[in-house]
Amino acid sequence: MTTKLETELHGKIKSRKLKAGIIGLGYVGLPLAVEFAKAGVEVHGIDIDSRKVDAIRKGKSYIQDVPSREVEKLVSEKKLHATSDFSVLRELDTVNICVPTPLRKSKDPDISYIVSAAQEIARYFHKGMLVILESTTYPGTTEEVILPMLEAKRLKVGRDFFLAFSPERVDPGNPQYQTRNIPKVVGGATSACTRLAAAFYELAIAKVHPVSSCASAEMVKLLENTFRSVNIGLVNELCLMSEKLGADIWEIIDAAATKPFGFMPFYPGPGLGGHCIPIDPHYLAWKARIHGFNPRFIELASAVNAEMPEFVVRKVQAILNEKGKAIKGAKILVLGLSYKKNVDDIRESPALEILELLEKNGAAVSYSDPHVPELTLHGRTHRSVSLTSAKKKFDMAVLVTDHSGFDYAAIAKSFPLILDTRNAFRGIAAKNIRRI
């Protein structure tokens, strides 16, 4: 049965006469805000970081995939607003929560940012509001954590207000798939919640896929990234095994990929990075343990992936030893600092751990990354080295992130030793290049 409040909000959505809020203006929130504003919705972005708020108000983007010209245009048209004042929630019809969900040192979920956002929403909550959580979290968070906070206002979900979960699927640096054309999964606390959330996303997203519940939608994101973590863990283990067997894992994967069915190629690397793949499986594993299930497969894959930076450093040491050099005192250049190619995001990047491990072993380490001009690590500031000036100044280069902007042919001629962790030097025949 459709309620009066559902009908009213659905009418606002269809006519685009609603005011939408987005809490958290980072890699997920800002692109989402821009897409809804481009669709004709008045969007109010909320963030406690005054630097982000000031940048948006000035029409400037700090997210690589969002052009400043789009932000400037939408701000001038009064379709995109930014504030640190949560009281604006009183005026809003919908609000999306797009805040970080890191891990604690114990590898347990830290949903404190979600709780803080929900507390602010509850403070300014009103009838007819649609609340959607997008932050990646364990199954049950939406209805076990957020729902009780909102129903404490003596309002009933599905009748007086609406609540849903829709997992973010942002892939920074991907020119083909961005916010608008990545299908949106959505699950509500009730069927009315799902209908309204789906209608809302259909304003700005090309395809919306409803599921039966918030928990199902929460599980979707964890399945997607656990799938990747487990398969990367498998191929990383095969990489370690292949070294013992004297086999070329890259050749083996290429050959296996010629099979037109039943095989999907994954590739080894120096470790996992970014906010999702190294973290999301731990959210799922934690929830499984709470229910008395031992997620052995997930945890083994995470353990294998976590070992890769140390494997890279051991490989560096072995290569130097072959040439009669010690790692202590060796001048080493790390090529690429971000967690994936062609982005400036260093969250959870394996390059950071590799850099630290090399320094702990006594190496003199520098880095070069066209997307990360400066890095502050443990109070020390490192600056990206120009590859032109780096020629012949280093004993070895370690390719960690395979940016398209690197001239691999020139690099191959510039360093006496190179360890390639991404097969980026494929096709370049040179005796100074080794691969993991």
User: SS3 helix, strand, coil % of the chain, rounded to 5?
Assistant: 40, 15, 45
Distance, CA of 239 to CA of 75 (rounded, Å):
50
Q: How many beta carbons lie within 10 A of that of residue 274, not counting itself?
A: 21
Q: Following DSSP, what letter does each residue of 338-379 receive, concatenated?
A: SSSTT----TT-HHHHHHHHHHHTT-EEEEE-TT--EEEETT
Residue 109 carries which side chain, given as an amino acid letter?
P
Closest CA to 37 of 259, 203, 233: 203
Decide if 239 is catalytic: no
Question: Which residue type, as a one-letter code, is found at position 357?
Answer: L
Query: What tokens appear for 126 in the block?
Result: 């009103």
Q: Centre a 10 Å sphere on the Cβ of residue 43 and count the other Cβ atoms it contains.
A: 26
Q: Which residues are CB-contacts of 95 (< 8 A; sequence separation ≥ 6)?
A: 20, 21, 22, 23, 89, 121, 129, 130, 131, 132
Burial 215-251 (b: 16+ CB within 10 A, else e): bebbbbbbebbbebbbebbbbbbbbeebbeeeeebbe
In 194-353, where do the E strands start and end? 208-210, 331-335
Round to whole Å and give the CA distance between 309 and 269.
Answer: 9
Q: 180: exposed, middle or buried (C-beta count within 10 Å: 0-12, 13-18, 19+)? A: middle
Q: Which two tokens stand for residue 29?
A: 């929130």
Q: Among residues 98, 193, 239, 276, which one is catalytic?
A: 276
HSE, CB side, 13 Å, CA atoms: give it for residue 183.
9
Which residues are annotated as catalytic? 276
